[in-house]
Amino acid sequence: MSRPLLVWFAVLAHASLAFGGPQSAQQILEESQRRADVKSLRYEGLLQVTSSRGKTAEKRWQLERVGSQGSSKIVFYFTDPPQIKGVAILIVNHPGEKSDSWMWIPAAHRERRVDLESRSRRFFDTDFKLEDLEQRDVEEYDYESTGQADIDGFSCWIVRAVPKSKSAQHSFSRLYIRQKDYAIAQVEDYIDKAIVRTLKFGDIQKVQGIATPHLIEVADLRRHSSTTLKLEKIQYNVVLPDEDFTIAAIKRSK
């Protein structure tokens, strides 16, 4: 199982530190999660996917999320280019169970279920995975501190996260967590001993007091493709009613 990106988002979001003294890797991750815990989230994203052939495609979406840690609901609304305007994706996470996902395609006038299995693979032909965009439980991994390193001038703990599930796609991930604010600076996914994917979190700024990356770069080292997500207009703890996270709601896509 690869690293859930939103966990790292959440960790990033609580950059303020009130922490000191030696900690175990598990404690570092729990603190990150605690700091990242927000009731809701909204942002606009610009997605740039560069294929292995060197062609780049751009899409814009608006993401809304309510809830956290395994019981969240997420909606993506694609806004650009015009061909995909109105396409929406709804993800409903259930604690300890597989998530439910639907996609609304206005031109086809119907919603469709998204194969749950595919979330561990490429998310809609980006280098993200669907599970990267969900909030997962820290308890799904075993952690081990493996040292320290500097990322973009920030001292980071290096934590090795090994998924407990035997069907996980990656053997382990290596997380670089900033000591200053517990924000994740980088994630590396490994299969056996080979690095297969990297996620870099850049332009970390405080939003509503939460350290938040405004640029995420993902590179698939096997496919030689990369995806960049620029986050704009980030808002935390906005009022998002539950009824906005239903199939009926995405059919009224914005």
Partner 1 sequence: VNLVRLISWPYACQHRLRLILTASGIVLGVAVLVAIHTGNATVVHSFSQTVDRVAGATQLQVFASGSSGFSEEFLDAVRQRAEVQVAAPVIEQSVNFGLQKQESLLILGVDMLADSNLRQYDIDVGADEVADDIVMFLAQPDSLIITREFAQQNHLAVNSQISLPTAEGSRQFTVRGIMRPGGLASAFGGSLALMDIYAAQEMFGRGRSFDRIDVVLRPGFSVKDGQADLARVLGPGFSVEPPAARAQEFESLLDAYSRNMNLMSVFALLIGIFIIDNSFNVAVAQRRSEIGVLRALGATRRQIRWLFLIESTLVGLPASAVGVAFGLLLAWGSMKYISGFLQSLYGFSMVTKGIILSPGLIVSAFLIGVFTSVLAAVLPAQSAASIEPVRAFQKGRYQQLSLKEHRIRRAAAVVMGAVSAACLWAPSSPAAFYIGYIFSVLAAILLAPTVIIWLARLLRQPAQWLRPLEGTLAADSLIAAPRRTTTTVGALMLSLALVVALGGVSQAAYVSVQNWLDTTLNPDLFVSSSDKLLSSRFLFPSSMETELRAIPGVADVQGVRTVRISIAGSSRTLIATDLVKLFEHIKPEVFEGDLQRMAQLASQGQGVIISENFSTLENLHLQNWLEIPTPSGLLRLPIVGVIRDYTSPKGSLLIDGTVFQQYWKSGELDVFRVYLQSLASADDVKRRILENSRDRREVFVLTSRELKAYVLRSVNQWFGLTYLPILIAILVALLGIANTLLVSVTDRRRELAILRAVGGLRRQVRSIVSTEALLIALIGLVIGIALGAGNLYYALQIARRQIIGVGLSYQFPWKVTLLLFPAILLAAWVSAVWPGHSAVRQSVVEALEYE
Tell me: does residue 116 bind partner 1 (CB under 8 A): yes
SS (H, E, C) 190-251: EECCEEEEEEEEEEEEEECCEEEEEEEEEEECCCCEEEEEEEEEEEECCCCCHHHCCHHHHH
Scanning residues 124 to 143, which ones bind partner 1 (CB under 8 A)? 124-125
Minimum Å distance from CB 134 to partner 1?
Answer: 16
Scanning residues 199 to 218, which ones bind partner 1 (CB under 8 A)? none
Tell me: does residue 192 bind partner 1 (CB under 8 A): no
Task: Give the start-end residues of each E strand in 106-181.
Answer: 110-113, 141-151, 154-163, 172-178
Main-chain dihedrals φ then ψ at residue 83, nearest 5 degrees? -60, -25
Residue from 18, 20, 21, 55 touching partner 1 (CB under 8 A): that is 55
Residue from 20, 96, 107, 192 touching partner 1 (CB under 8 A): that is 107
Work out the number of other CB atoms within 10 angstroms of the CB of residue 150.
10
Tell me: does residue 165 bind partner 1 (CB under 8 A): no
**Integer Cα distance of 125 and 117 in angstroms:** 15
Tell me: does residue 249 bind partner 1 (CB under 8 A): no
Residue from 71, 80, 94, 108 touching partner 1 (CB under 8 A): that is 108
Tell me: does residue 51 bind partner 1 (CB under 8 A): yes
**Integer Cα distance of 6 and 12 in angstroms:** 9
Which spans of this chain sit near partner 1 (rule: CB under 8 A)?
Answer: 49, 51, 53, 55, 57, 59, 78, 81, 83-84, 87, 103, 105-108, 110, 112-118, 121, 124-125, 167
